[in-house]
Amino acid sequence: MNVPEELRYTTDHEWARLEDGGRIRIGITDYAQDALGDVVFVQLPDPDTQVAAGASCSEVESTKSVSDIYAPIAGVVVEVNTELADAPQRLNEDPYGEGWICVIQAADTSGLDQLMDAGAYRDLIST
């Protein structure tokens, strides 16, 4: 299972990557996409939407189920991956790259310190 070292992780299997200017790019982990099966639809959040940490901000539909995606940090959605509308399978093919879901302008990036590092996430998914 691919668990990149530079990311932070939630117990709900979302990842967060800190970018310039307090922007946080988020998506689902390799473990999550594998558990979901083939992704067939992604409901993206609307740009300029205020999100709370731990609140549902997106939804992913697969051949197995429909799952909420939770914001790992509070802030405002400033960018969404519109490519997923026509190619939702990117979540399966490249969850840490082309399969990102949205970018949140964080109200406070210190919330990332509350998320798991790669080692802790590996421990979570190995149990």
Query: Residue 109 — pLDDT band, cuts 50, 70, 90?
Result: confident
In a domain, 112, yes or no: yes
Report the 3 state secondary structure along 7-42: CEECCCCEEEEECHHHEEEEEECHHHHHHHCCEEEE
Q: What is the mean pLDDT of residues 68-72?
A: 94
CATH of residue 63: 2.40.50.100
Give the number of domains in the chain.
1
Q: What is the mean pLDDT of residues 70-90?
A: 94
Closest CA to 58 of 27, 16, 91, 90: 27
Range of the domain at 84: 8-125
Looking at per-residue pLDDT, the higher value among 121 and 64 belongs to: 121
In a domain, 2, yes or no: no
